[in-house]
Amino acid sequence: MGNKQTIFTAQQLFYRYRDLAPQLVPLDYTNHPDVKLPYELIGSMPELKDNPFRQRIAEVFSEDGQGNMTLDDFLDMFSVLSEMAPRDLKAYYAFKIYDFNNDDFLCKSDLEKTLNKLTRNELTEEEVRMVCEKVIDEADLDNDGRLSLEDFQHMIVRAPDFLSTFHIRI
Amino acid sequence: MTSYNNGGVFNPAYHDSETLEVDKRSSRKPHHSNPYANEDLALWGERADLRNDAEHGSHRGGWQEESRRVEESIPMGFITTNSTSASWQHNVYQSSLQIDGDSHYDPSPAARPISSMSGNMTMRWRGIAMRRMSMFPNSDPAFTEEEAEDEEQNLVKELVALSTREQVRQIRGLPMSFERKKHIRRQVMAFKSSKHSQHFTGFTDCSKNISLSFRRCGYGIKSARQTLELWHGIMKEIGGKFGSSVLTYFMFLKWLLMFNIFSFLVNFGFITIPLLVHDLSPNIPSNVSFRGLELLTGAGYFNYTVMYYGGYSNETLRGLVDYNMQLAYFFTIAIYMVLCGIVLIFSMANSFKKNYALADSASNSAWQLLCSWDFSITNDKTVRQRKSNLRVQLKESLSEKSLKKRLTLSEKLQQYGIHLGCWVLSTSLAVGCGASIFYLCQYEQEAMDSGPWSLLNEAETLLVPFVVSLMNMVIPLFFSLLNKFELYSNQRRQIYALLLRNVLLRMVILGVLCYYWMNVVPGRFLCWEPMVGQALYRLVIIDFLFLMLGSFFGEFLSNVIGTQLLPRFGVPEFDVARNVLDLIYAQTLAWIGIYFSPLLPAIQILKFFILFYLKKVSLTQNCQPPRRSSRAAQMQTIFIFLLFFPFFVGALSMVAYTAWSLTPSEQCGPFHGLNNTFSVVEIWIAGLEGSSDWVVWIYENIIRSELFYFLLTLIIIVIIYVFWQLIQGRKELIGLLRQQIINEGKDKSFLLDKLQYLQKSYSEIPAGPIKQKGPSSRRSDGHSSGSQSNSNAMVQVLLARQQLEEEEQRRSLGGVSVPSDISASSAMTQALLARQRAERQNEDFYQMPEEHPSSLNALDQAMAARQRALDDERDEYWSTTDFNERNSSASAVTQAMQARLRAEEDRGDDPADLPSPTSSVMIQVMQARQRAEEEERMQWAPDPLQNPAPSGSSALIQAMLARQQAQNEYDDGY
């Protein structure tokens, strides 16, 4: 019920999921078969294949943290990335996606990784450092030199575009 | 870190589950998602954070900390019946805060804010969720099934208390997996139904069922609407290729299309259908036939159909029910306009709230890095382009500041001059356009008056709309050319300036046309409304043709030029602002025309429908994705605002002026013979007198009374004033809260610095003797006690410490900055505090030497703690995909401290070795105190006479005082 509004696409999503590997996924899900699709298949979806964060997305939403997804993980992923997901939820998962080392803070190394993913490693080290410093300087409210989830959410609230950009259309 | 320990561990009453529950309820804020809601608790939260770090020996912060804290402290309180563990926990807290229970510093429970015990619901949910959705399930051995169950129970209880709607919302917002959400929901439902079956009877069940089925029905409609969503696939494709800012245009187009469909349905349903049902055949004169040119001009044949005002009659249609055509016409148009206004106001206000009130342009880099990436982009080429665009933009933003400062006064003046010149030029252009259109209209009129009505004559009517549309197309291009010569410091201002000029141009043109229609046309024609309707029809059609031409010239030609002739221009971008303005202009025409030509929305629907496909093809064939990631949401707000403010309000006032002040033509239309359109209502009211007096009363005393409107205006102004004041107050509050957050941050870093400092001295000094004396002396201590395990532990400690030092060296070489230091230091702090705890237990042991079980117990616990720390660490090794050195260094510290702890515990067991740990405690406590006093004297000599406990607590007091002082300073600061 939590995701009732998106349930109508669940059927659609299931077919998408199944299309990735018809030989692995049974049509009949009544007995809750334990099926996991490997990351290679998930990451090759047209919606994800060009996304610089595809691996992180898959890792964050998969139960095992390796990017291998069950149907439920798959549904979760697209429900969070859908239009209807509340902002806080989106911000939470976006934070996790950017948090490459899973320490619950966006520290400089996370930001550098994000930056390198977004700019194809074409900035000099000096520039990367400056940008990261600037980002932390702008968004870090409590001056601990890294961004906590609160800092991040605070920033998201002030960036109304985020809702439309953190969105994958199915 | 602004997540506070809400566990309220200081209060013994906390361990009572009831209190916990009650407190949580009572202190739950309405907008609990605000993590800064309980700001003033930071002081205690801070402390709690540190303490907690100490407890867990964990180097993770924030959420996991929170979740652990919550999960650990809550269940301990009321599940475990094992008194040992409870007392242990109590001890931990005590020792970390107070060195000795009966020291002179006693934080009395009454002094603490009660609300610090409250659990922020959202936080806690996230806490659980963090664990649930943790990438490494079961990574924490301290986390057991029981605790999870319990946490879940609390969550369910909280959810049950909410209304159903709220429940759904909250559950949807839980960051948990699908499976877990379903589970939670099932539990909530079960809980609810069991509760209801006890208390309520059939009636409430029934109402429940009804509301449930209503809700389901609502969801069904919603989902049906979504599956039937128009152009879903195309939207996805456009979004995937061009990003969401270009998609804004298409969404806007779709929204306007919906508007027109609604408008068409209303007009067709309430005005046209009754007339057609009554009299199907239009009364067309025999000499008029359909020739084809009407499709363009709207004159001739169309003039006699229901297309225009003239085609409607003023009769009361007598059928099954009497249908007063006049009233129907008037009220349909009026209600449609009012509904449009309401929809616009609501969407505008909503958009403002979401996109403007909260938006903050200050954090540009952060936004560019973390929020601007469009996840919906699925096109490889676009992704590559976006990446290089982002790179360019970041570089620009880095160099922007240096560029700004270089402007001299003369340069500035020159710039202002250019701006002024451009403004004068564009304004005079717009005014000139308006004037020329007015004279053109007059010329056309004279030409038409001179000769008989012929086909050529009819074609001549196309001249005015042609010129108007041409101006609408060409002059904006000129404006953008002008815009290129102006150097704006920021891009947004440039866009706004361009937008403003275009709006001005269109307003002037429409204003002139309206003036002509209102003042000149009524005097010249016997049946003037259809003439205005025709003019509007022509404008709509010709505008459509020019939109098509515009996308041909604007996009296709510049694409050809950019790719074939002049490659330096490059492939054109889709100009969202210009295209959206075209749409707004088209919609304004439809609004103005609604009174004169009720079926104009049908033409508009067709136009927008074709335009959508046309623009889509033109976009995909000719354009490239936008180079700059502009803030699409804000642009959208501006578009809606523009649609509302000059354009809709203008159209509305024009229609209202026509209805109130102008005399309807005497020969045709539903209102012929009346003084003005509004007198329809007067006649209707006069007819009602006697039958329904209340309507008459309302009309006389409210609609027609100036006093009523005067009072209404007064009340609204008062309300606005009150809200304005409220807003000012809130602004102030926001400023204060933000300052407070910053202060908390400073506070924290201050404390961390202090601790780090303390820790440094702490690790230096004991390290000193060890290094100087070498392991042998310490080992001889161990030898005297005759315990092999002791020396083993010592060796371990030394090794661990060495490891740590290596780590630290490496780190300093690597230049890793603040964050890792902080986490390392927090790990150190944890270790330190754990150690203090152990030492306190040692003291207990000294005080009661005969009580061996307690010491053993302490030892056991230390062992267990160590085991846990090791387990943690192992899990970390096993699980962390991106392993960094910080973890290892922190765990090294932990290990060292744990090992040392054990060593001391061991020694503590041995009565022969009593003085050694005591003195080491002494040393440490002395150091702590000295550091707290910020004295740089290096007195490491142990003072065996002094009692360790008071000195420790006094060190604590010193630290507290220093902190207080810092706090005061910061407070004074702002």
Residue B378 binned pLDDT confidence (cut-offs 50, 70, 90):
confident
Record: fold of A10-81: Recoverin; domain 1 (1.10.238)
Domain chopping of chain A, boundaries: 10-81, 87-165
Q: Which of B375, B635, B825 to mutate to test the interface with A (most CBs of A within 10 A)?
A: B375
- Whether B412 and B490 map to the same domain: the answer is yes
Q: Which of B31, B186, B370 to mutate to test the interface with A (most CBs of A within 10 A)?
A: B370
How do the pLDDT tens digits run along chain A, 170 residues long?
Answer: 333 344 456 777 888 888 888 888 888 777 777 788 888 888 888 888 888 898 899 999 888 888 888 888 888 888 888 888 888 899 999 999 999 988 888 888 898 888 888 887 778 888 888 888 888 888 887 777 888 888 888 888 888 888 888 888 87
Per the structure block, which two tokens stand in for B615? 């623009």
DSSP code for B624: B
Reported as a single tens digit per residue, the pLDDT across B725-764 is 999 999 999 999 988 888 888 888 889 889 999 988 877 6
**B405 is a domain residue:** yes
Q: Residue B102 in 3-state DSSP?
A: coil
Write out the residue range of the structural domain in which residue B740 sits.
705-753
Contact A8 B226 (CB under 8 A): yes
Q: Do the Cβ atoms of B158 and B119 come closer than 8 Å?
A: no
Nearest Cα neighbor of B591 from B230, B250, B256 is: B256
Better-scored residue on pLDDT, B525 or B224: B525
Q: Do the Cβ atoms of A92 and B175 come closer than 8 Å?
A: yes
Most confident of B179-193, B758-772, B786-800: B179-193
Q: Do the Cβ atoms of B42 and B115 come closer than 8 Å?
A: no
Residue at a domain's end among B175, B196, B217? B196
- Whether B285 and B342 map to the same domain: the answer is yes
**B419 is a domain residue:** yes
Q: Residue B324 in 3-state DSSP?
A: strand
Cα B384–chain centre separation: 27
Taking the C-alpha atoms of residue B581 and residue B642, their distance in angstroms, rounded to an integer, is: 9
In angstroms, the separation between the Cα of residue A14 and the nearest Cα of chain B is: 14
Instruction: Note whether A122 contacts B: Cβ–Cβ < 8 A.
Output: yes
Nearest Cα neighbor of B47 from B740, B751, B927 is: B751
Contact A59 B135 (CB under 8 A): yes
What is the 3-state secondary structure of B538-593? HHHHHHHHHHHHHHHHHHHHHHHHHHHHCCCCCCCECCHHHHHHHHHHHHHHHHHH
Nearest Cα neighbor of B847 from B102, B1, B40, B173 is: B102
Taking the C-alpha atoms of residue B70 and residue B573, their distance in angstroms, rounded to an integer, is: 53
pLDDT at B93 over 80: no
**B289 is a domain residue:** yes
Cα dist from B727 to A155, B633, B974, whole Å: 21, 23, 22
Per-residue model confidence (pLDDT) at position B755: 92
pLDDT at B372 over 60: yes
In angstroms, the separation between the Cα of residue B862 and the nearest Cα of chain A is: 26
A93: chain B residues, CB-CB within 8 Å: 175
Contact B376 A159 (CB under 8 A): no
Question: Which region among B322-331, B401-410, B567-576, B616-625 has the lowest average model confidence (pLDDT)?
Answer: B401-410
Cα dihedral sign, A137-A138-A142-A145? negative
Q: Does the fold of domain A87-165 match that of domain A10-81?
A: yes
Q: Do the Cβ atoms of B547 and B603 come closer than 8 Å?
A: no
Q: Which of B130, B135, B215, B743 to mutate to test the interface with A (most CBs of A within 10 A)?
A: B135
Identity of residue B865: A
Nearest Cα neighbor of B582 from B527, B660, B642 is: B642
φ, ψ for residue B323 (rounded to 5)? -125, 110
Per-residue model confidence (pLDDT) at position B956: 56
Taking the C-alpha atoms of residue B424 and residue B416, their distance in angstroms, rounded to an integer, is: 12
Strand partners, B573: B624
Strand partners, B624: B573
Nearest Cα neighbor of B336 from B261, B263, B264 is: B263
Taking the C-alpha atoms of residue B826 and residue B819, their distance in angstroms, rounded to an integer, is: 10
DSSP code for B200: -
Cα B561–chain centre separation: 41
Instruction: Note whether A157 contacts B: Cβ–Cβ < 8 A.
Output: yes
In angstroms, the separation between the Cα of residue B226 and the nearest Cα of chain A is: 9
Reported as a single tens digit per residue, the pLDDT across B867-879 is 655 555 454 444 4
Start-to-end CA span in chain B (Å): 21
Nearest Cα neighbor of A143 from B34, B739, B7 is: B739
* Burial B604-620, CB ≥16 within 10 A → b, else e: bbebbeebbeebbebbe
* Burial B935-951, CB ≥16 within 10 A → b, else e: eeeeeeeeeeeeebbbb
Taking the C-alpha atoms of residue B585 and residue B540, their distance in angstroms, rounded to an integer, is: 10
Cα B51–chain centre separation: 34
CA closest to A66 among chain B residues: B135
Nearest Cα neighbor of B540 from B597, B580, B499, B616 is: B597
- Whether B333 and B441 map to the same domain: the answer is yes
- In percent, the amount of chain B with pLDDT more than 70 equals 59
Nearest Cα neighbor of A169 from B21, B251, B331 is: B251
Per the listing, tokens 């996304």 go with A51
Instruction: Determine the longest span between alpha carbons in chain B, in angstroms.
Output: 130
Q: Do the Cβ atoms of A36 and A61 come closer than 8 Å?
A: no
- Whether B519 and B446 map to the same domain: the answer is yes
Instruction: Note whether B165 contacts A: Cβ–Cβ < 8 A.
Output: no
ipTM above 0.85, yes or no: yes
A3: chain B residues, CB-CB within 8 Å: 172, 178, 181
Q: Do the Cβ atoms of A146 and A107 come closer than 8 Å?
A: yes
- Whether B184 and B294 map to the same domain: the answer is no
Contact A118 B387 (CB under 8 A): yes
Contacts of A121 (CB under 8 A, 6+ apart): none
**B78 is a domain residue:** no
φ, ψ for residue A145 (rounded to 5)? 80, 10
Per the structure block, which two tokens stand in for B317? 């249609």
Taking the C-alpha atoms of residue A162 and residue A167, their distance in angstroms, rounded to an integer, is: 9
As for how many domains chain B has, the answer is 3
Mean pLDDT of B307-323: 79
Per-residue model confidence (pLDDT) at position B893: 47
Nearest Cα neighbor of B128 from B84, B165, B167, B181 is: B181
- Whether B415 and B353 map to the same domain: the answer is yes
* Burial B800-809, CB ≥16 within 10 A → b, else e: bbebbeebbe
Contact B378 A50 (CB under 8 A): yes
What element of type H or E holds B501?
helix B491-515
Most confident of B110-124, B405-419, B826-840, B927-941: B405-419
Radius of gyration of chain A (CA): 17
Q: What one-character-per-residue DSSP string does B777-812 give?
A: HHHHHHHHHT-HHHHHHHHHHHHHHHHHHHHHHHHH
Most confident of B488-492, B524-528, B777-781, B789-793: B524-528
Taking the C-alpha atoms of residue B970 and residue B747, their distance in angstroms, rounded to an integer, is: 8
CATH of domain A87-165: 1.10.238.10
- Whether B507 and B387 map to the same domain: the answer is yes
CB-facing half-sphere around the CA of A126: CA atoms within 13 A = 3
Residue B889 binned pLDDT confidence (cut-offs 50, 70, 90):
very low
Taking the C-alpha atoms of residue B476 and residue B294, their distance in angstroms, rounded to an integer, is: 30
Cα dihedral sign, B687-B693-B694-B697? positive
**B748 is a domain residue:** yes
CA closest to A58 among chain B residues: B135
Per-residue model confidence (pLDDT) at position B917: 44
In chain B, positions 325-384, which contact chain A (CB-CB < 8 Å)? 354-355, 358-360, 362-367, 369-380, 382-384
Residue at a domain's end among B753, B773, B793? B753
Strand partners, B322: B318
Most confident of B113-117, B864-868, B908-912: B864-868
In angstroms, the separation between the Cα of residue A23 and the nearest Cα of chain B is: 24
